[in-house]
Amino acid sequence: MQAILQQIQSEAQSLFGKGQVASYIPALAQVPPRQFGMAVARVDGRTYEVGAAHTPFSLQSITKLFAFVLALKLVGDELWLRVGREPSGAAFNSMVQLETEKGIPRNPFINAGALVITDILTTRYAHLDIALLGALRRLTDDANLSWNARIAKSERDTAHRNMAMAYFMKSYGNLVNPPELVLDNYCRQCAIEMNCAQLAQATLFLANQGRDISKDGHPGEQFLSADAARRVNALLLTCGAYDAAGDFAYRTGLPIKTGVGGGIVAVVPGKATVAVWAPELDGKGNSVLGGFALERLGELVDWEAGV
Ligand code: GLN
């Protein structure tokens, strides 16, 4: 596995310069573009890393996965009254479907859907950032995990489109809390930082029937039921990469979640999780080198052979 990761890292270098770092959130435009890190965490406790696997990056939309899991744990199937579970086929920040579909977003992984999820969590938690960080600190076994105040402010200051969506959904009665409050929480959530090693560790429960695995490979808490974990993976496969979900599913064959910070996390059910980070994005907001790395990993690794 280590040799495969090194091969992928060296092949990926040729793609530097083919994408661009996100710039619509001003603070993200300052991230040096030519970086690449990758980490694999296996359910048996073995881990592998290459490149900048310990450099923290902005999780952005990858946090939609964790927020969704928390909301699912809290309200269960009731959640589906307020958000759908179909791929949108539209950009992550698109508003077009919201009007014809009466303020019900297509799925929890596009911005509109994530805002509804954040609204559900805002109703439940007085300090959502602390609740979310608490869960993520447990999953990563890292008490220092935090959100980046500079990036949160930068996004909040320029979140006009997300604010418009929040108000629009409010007009349809699909937002309970004040849009300003939901946006504050959403921007802090998106600004949570992790490195690849932590991200692979934090998502292991999805590869392990909902049960967390500690850093030393021992079984941890049943973070989510096995049934719910299976369903979350289905949703990640069909909706995890916005309007490139079909392409990513075809290329990687895996449930994944991407973010405009350049991170992607992938689940190999029953086997492992893979986190990759490279901040240069394609036109749909997904990491160019990240997509390549996951596609190559699928070609090179025989997960059944246990390499
Ligand atoms: N915080 C970003 C936004 O709302 C997240 C988008 C993303 O990662 N695709 O625009």
Atom of ligand 1 nearest to the CA of 93: 10
Does the CB atom of residue 155 touch ligand 1 within 6 A? Answer: yes
Does the CB atom of residue 158 touch ligand 1 within 6 A? Answer: no
Selected catalytic residue, list 260, 265, 267, 276: 260
Is 18 a known active-site residue?
no
At 157, list the tokens: 């200051």
At 126, list the tokens: 């007085």
| pLDDT over threshold 80, residue 307 | no
Predicted local confidence at residue 215, as pLDDT: 82
Work out the average pLDDT over 112-121: 98
Q: Which domains does the chain have, with CATH numbers?
A: 2-305 (3.40.710.10)
Atom of ligand 1 nearest to the CA of 60: 8
CB 50 within 8 A of CB 8: yes
Beta strand extents in the chain (DSSP E only): 37-42, 47-51, 57-58, 193-194, 211-213, 219-222, 256-258, 263-268, 272-277
At 45, list the tokens: 């406790």
CB 200 within 8 A of CB 275: yes
The model's pTM is 0.97
Ligand 1 centroid–CA 246 distance in Å is 19
Ligand 1 centroid–CA 60 distance in Å is 5
Atom of ligand 1 nearest to the CA of 155: 1
Confidence of residue 306 (pLDDT cuts 50, 70, 90): low
pLDDT mean across residues, the chain: 96
Work out the average pLDDT over 135-152: 96
Does the CB atom of residue 58 touch ligand 1 within 6 A? Answer: no
Selected catalytic residue, list 186, 257, 268, 301: 186
At 80, list the tokens: 């589906």
Does the CB atom of residue 113 touch ligand 1 within 6 A? Answer: no
Atom of ligand 1 nearest to the CA of 111: 4
Does the CB atom of residue 40 touch ligand 1 within 6 A? Answer: no
At 253, list the tokens: 């064959």
Selected catalytic residue, list 64, 154, 274, 287: 64
Atom of ligand 1 nearest to the CA of 114: 4
CB 241 within 8 A of CB 286: yes
Does the CB atom of residue 260 touch ligand 1 within 6 A? Answer: yes
Q: How far apart are CA 39 and CA 55, in angstroms?
A: 11
Ligand 1 centroid–CA 113 distance in Å is 12
Work out the average pLDDT over 123-128: 94
Is 61 a known active-site residue?
yes
Identify residue 100 by its one-letter amino acid code.
T
| pLDDT over threshold 80, residue 96 | yes
Q: How far apart are CA 291 and CA 293, in angstroms?
A: 5
Is 48 a known active-site residue?
no
Selected catalytic residue, list 58, 61, 88, 94: 61
Q: Residue-wise over 46-56: b if at least 16 C-beta within 10 A, else e?
A: ebbbbbbbebb
Pairing of the two strands 37-42 and 272-277: antiparallel
**CB-count exposure of residue 173 (10 Å: 0-12, 13-18, 19+):** exposed
Predicted local confidence at residue 216, as pLDDT: 81
User: What percentage of the chain exceeds 90 in pLDDT?
Assistant: 96
**Span 248-292, pLDDT tens digits:** 999 999 999 999 999 999 999 999 999 999 999 999 999 999 999
Strand partners, 268: 272
Give just the sign of the alpha carbon dihedral 203, 64, 262, 18. positive
